[in-house]
């Protein structure tokens, strides 16, 4: 039988490091585990196969396993003893962050992507494990060369459907510029970056209605500031917290 451990939700987690490479041996061991799970009335079995064991996927699916989620180097499948058994959702949203940066002259920082005709706020995808604060500062630097300091979260927008049928949440952050000289680093994605007066951006008919609405609505807004509390007193997993000012 496959090596495994129980979890606190009446489930079984198969040890990926102990999965046999041979298909026939894997089938025998998996069948034995399914019998064990049925005998002990376990609700869900979790099976994660690294990419070098991808040839075992078909065997698992023929035994009733279905896809749950994947990463570049592995795929996780699940087996539910009853259809109504609860399984935590797979990620439903991707996250993006945009930076509203305004200099001492009152100009805002905007970019135009390659093959695009309109300008918008700089920003991009938040990577796995990356803080919102770090992501928006990084994206603005990559797309414009402007160094910034985080100020606050100004607003959010949700889009559905987005890529691969998931949803997307776009978080707009206020940043303070620490430099002024534009020097695009991501030249493969960004065609142009510039400082522009808000009124010029808003009256440019080529810019999208939504991006103009963002700028008009948030230019003088006060947002959620980053908490200065020691988050470790609540949970070691707390990443960052943004709160309204008192």
Exposure on the CB side of residue 243, measured as CA atoms within 13 A: 8
Task: Report the SS3 class of residue 85.
Answer: coil
Instruction: Enumerate the domain spans of the chain.
Output: 4-80, 93-225
Give me the residue label for tokens 């001492």. 104
Lateral strand order in the sheet of 148-159: 123-125, 93-101, 167-177, 148-159
| Cα four-point dihedral sign 190, 195, 198, 199 | negative
The pLDDT score that the predictor gives to residue 230 is 83
Block mean pLDDT (10 aa), the chain, length 246: 94 97 97 97 97 98 96 95 90 95 98 96 95 98 98 96 91 98 96 98 97 96 89 80 83
- First and final CA of the chain: distance in angstroms? 58
Q: pTM higher than 0.85, yes or no?
A: no
Of the CATH numbers 3.30.1180.10, 3.40.50.11440, 3.90.79.10, 3.30.70.3190, which one belongs to the domain with range 93-225? 3.90.79.10
The pLDDT score that the predictor gives to residue 98 is 98
What CATH fold (topology level) applies to the domain 4-80? Aminopeptidase (3.40.630)
The pLDDT score that the predictor gives to residue 109 is 98
The pLDDT score that the predictor gives to residue 155 is 96
- CA–CA distance, 27 with 33 (Å, rounded to integer): 10
- Give how far Cα 161 sits from Cα of 94, 112, 153, 164, 165, Å: 11, 24, 24, 8, 5
The pLDDT score that the predictor gives to residue 246 is 53
């Amino acid at each position: 039988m496959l090596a495994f451990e129980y979890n606190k939700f009446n489930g079984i987690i198969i040890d990926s490091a102990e999965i046999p490479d041979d298909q026939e041996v894997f089938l025998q061991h998996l069948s034995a585990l399914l019998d064990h799970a049925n005998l002990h009335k376990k609700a869900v079995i979790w099976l994660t196969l690294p990419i070098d064991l991808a040839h075992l996927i078909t065997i698992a699916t023929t035994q009733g396993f279905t896809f749950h989620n994947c990463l570049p180097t592995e795929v996780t499948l699940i087996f539910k003893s009853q259809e109504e058994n609860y399984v935590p959702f797979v990620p439903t949203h991707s996250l993006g962050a945009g930076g509203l940066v305004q200099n001492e002259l009152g100009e805002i920082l905007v970019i135009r992507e390659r093959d695009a005709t309109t300008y918008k706020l700089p920003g991009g995808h938040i990577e796995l494990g990356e803080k919102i604060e770090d992501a928006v500062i990084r994206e603005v630097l990559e797309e414009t060369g402007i160094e910034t300091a985080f100020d606050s979260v100004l607003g959010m927008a949700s889009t559905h459907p987005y890529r691969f049928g998931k949803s997307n949440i776009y978080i707009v952050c206020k940043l303070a510029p620490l430099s002024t000289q534009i020097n695009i680093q991501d030249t493969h994605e960004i065609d142009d970056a510039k400082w522009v007066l808000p009124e010029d951006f808003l009256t440019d008919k080529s810019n999208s209605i939504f991006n103009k609405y963002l700028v008009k609505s948030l230019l003088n807004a006060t947002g959620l500031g980053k908490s200065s509390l020691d988050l470790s007193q609540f949970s070691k997993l707390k990443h960052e917290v943004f709160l309204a000012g008192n």
